[in-house]
Structure 1
Amino acid sequence: MLKHGDKVGIVACSNALTLREKTQLTELAEVLLELGLSPVLSKYIYEQKTVFSGSGAQRAGTLNDFYNNSSIKAIFDVSGGDIANELLDFIDFDSIKRNPKPFFGYSDLTTIMNAIYAKTGNLSYLYQIKYLVWENKKIQIPDFKNSIFDKQDDLYKIKWDLIRGSKIEGVVIGGNIRCFLKLAGTQYMPEFTNKILFLESYGGATAQMTTYLCQLKQMGVFKKISGLLLGTFTRMEENNESPNIEELVLNITDDQSFPIAKTHDVGHGNTSKCLIIGKKYVC
């Protein structure tokens, strides 16, 4: 995917990083340099006015510039939160289609990643690059290095446990359930037919997840997709919520032939692997 000496763009399309996080981002830049990459930072990363590092147009402008810059070989988003969908009307999807390159992000970047797939067919990578400086960095750094430079699958090895059905096959869309549903009713929502829908969440309890799953059902999603993949639902699992996410999904998707699988390998935890949005999977 990348080679030593490549420039990579660092952006924050969602909530601004706080000034206290500069030390962490400096450490990340140092790790990338040690790996042989040359990070180029957007000027719209840190807080200027509350959660904003710049306007939606300004943040999207940097993203567009990085896609148009042939020397930038990949783009990593270091943010999360709530406001990534503010960029959607300012993103130049035609340029992204003409200049495909890996885009990495997670959580609220679900909106941009799925919009990129819907508008261009390009792949995006559900992975937070700050994992390389978080608690599990001693495992994440070698997995990242082996996968990004040496074309191994360390970062992409995901163990799925089927909880209904025997097989799920299709192109994966989705991500954070709350953020994915921001695309409902917009031109940026991917087509669902024969896709695999991946869902995960950091916050939220049983009632909130019920709301989201019912919305998906009422949109007709579960009748169109080929199956459902569940990642980690951090707060629900930490609090041992009942019913749990598996029980909720089994109840709400009442078609007994509808396949569902679960993994503990993808989500908001710092042990998370990388799931590729827009890629065909067989689980």
Structure 2
Amino acid sequence: MKKRIPLKPGDTLGVCAPSARFNIEKLNKGIHNLKKMGFKVKVPEEIFEKKRYLAGDDISRARVINQLYSDFDINGIICARGGFGAMRILNHLNWNSIRQNPKSFIGFSDNTAILLSIISQTGNPVIHGPNVVSFANAQQETLDSFYTAVTEPFDKMDVKNPQTIKPGNCTGILKGGNMATISHLLGTKFQPDFKDAVLFLEDIGEPAYKIDRMLTQMKMAGLFQGIQGVIAGSFENCDNDEYIEEIFFEIFEEYNVPVLSGLTSGHGRINLSMVMGTNIKMDTKSARILWI
């Protein structure tokens, strides 16, 4: 694992669009909020390209990321939006360049595919946090959390409305993100390794039975062998969400690890940012996550 390189006011964030096409008005509002925080923002012209539901073809979307990593004037990289498309460009990313030029890479949702691949391919930490369009109408708590996560210090997070599914405490490398995206990486060379990880999961618009199905598939594929703990984030607009904690208990019971839910990170009204790919401590009693 490598240490995170924090951002500071005046640093430049480069915008990439690895996934779906985006609303330009929301993008501009999001950029405005990033500038209000004190960051400069570089927007490559290529991100406005279109191919079906994607923000350009695969080679173009990957090229933007590769160029931002090789640009010494860029201090961090943030995704325009999620949707779908990030996993399509994984084979086109220059992993040697990404490894040799560690920068804060920020995103969530479909961009979970890139976040987890950066961790596994390079050892560089990443930021699970809002995409640019998310900043257009973001709550102040989301904005504050993002600023804290990308700058120093960032050392703890309290789960304000915790539900202990299985009590205990653990230490491990924080990994995870969008559940549907993770499940679609199974069987590929970019399938994540969650051994020794504290696993974070979130999703949107998935009924309880589909959440059950995805978790069961990942379990049967051996993805949870060696995990140290589980943190459940937001499950927004998920039908029968009253079943989710019971499903999590059943899926993870045999691993004898602590399982905590209630973290407001993901697709909910508030999306708290977190550094992933680094060691954390999680304690269900205090409902606190500590970065160590």
Q: Contact (CA 8 Å) 1:230, 1:262: kept in 2 or not?
A: yes
| Shift, 1:240, TM fit | 4.3
2:280 counterpart of 1:281: yes
For structure 2, the 5+ residue unaligned runs are 1-5, 283-292
Letter in 1 for 2:8: K
Q: Contact (CA 8 Å) 2:167, 2:259: kept in 1 or not?
A: yes
Q: Which residue of 1 aligns with 2:135?
A: 132
SS of 2:47's equivalent? Answer: coil
Letter in 2 for 1:16: R
Please list, as runs of the form range in 1=range in 2, the aligned pairs for 1:174-213 lying within 5 A after superposition: 174-213=176-215
Q: From the superposition, tell whether residues 203 and 47 of structure 1 become closer, same or farther in structure 2 (CA, over 3 Å).
A: farther
Counterpart-to-counterpart distance in 2, 1:256 and 1:183: 22
Q: From the superposition, tell whether residues 193 and 7 of structure 1 become closer, same or farther in structure 2 (CA, over 3 Å).
A: same
Q: From the superposition, tell whether residues 12 and 88 of structure 1 become closer, same or farther in structure 2 (CA, over 3 Å).
A: same
Counterpart-to-counterpart distance in 1, 2:27 and 2:236: 24
Q: Which residue of 2 aligns with 1:123?
A: 125
Paired positions, count: 274
Q: Tell me which of 53, 56, 67 is aligned to 2:55.
A: 53
More helix by share: 1
Please list, as runs of the form range in 1=range in 2, the aligned pairs for 1:174-253 lying within 5 A after superposition: 174-236=176-238, 239-242=239-242, 244-253=243-252
Q: From the superposition, tell whether residues 88 and 53 of structure 1 become closer, same or farther in structure 2 (CA, over 3 Å).
A: same
| Shift, 1:171, TM fit | 0.2
Residue-by-residue CA offset, 1:120-152 (whole Å, 9 max, x unaligned): 01111111144432141x333344445544x24
Q: Which residue of 2 aligns with 1:106?
A: 108
2:7 counterpart of 1:7: no
Letter in 2 for 1:226: Q
Please list, as runs of the form range in 1=range in 2, the aligned pairs for 1:52-91 lying within 5 A after superposition: 52-91=54-93
Letter in 2 for 1:59: R
Q: State, as a whole percentage, how many aligned pairs show the same letter.
A: 27
Counterpart-to-counterpart distance in 2, 1:273 and 1:282: 17
Q: Which contiguous aligned blocks of 4+ residues in structure 1 show a shift greater than 6 angstroms?
A: none
TM-score (norm 1): 0.89
| Larger mean Cα displacement after TM superposition, 251-260 or 207-216 | 251-260
Counterpart-to-counterpart distance in 1, 2:252 and 2:13: 41
Q: From the superposition, tell whether residues 254 and 161 of structure 1 become closer, same or farther in structure 2 (CA, over 3 Å).
A: closer
For structure 1, the 5+ residue unaligned runs are none
Q: From the superposition, tell whether residues 182 and 158 of structure 1 become closer, same or farther in structure 2 (CA, over 3 Å).
A: farther
SS of 1:172's equivalent? Answer: strand
TM-score (norm 2): 0.87
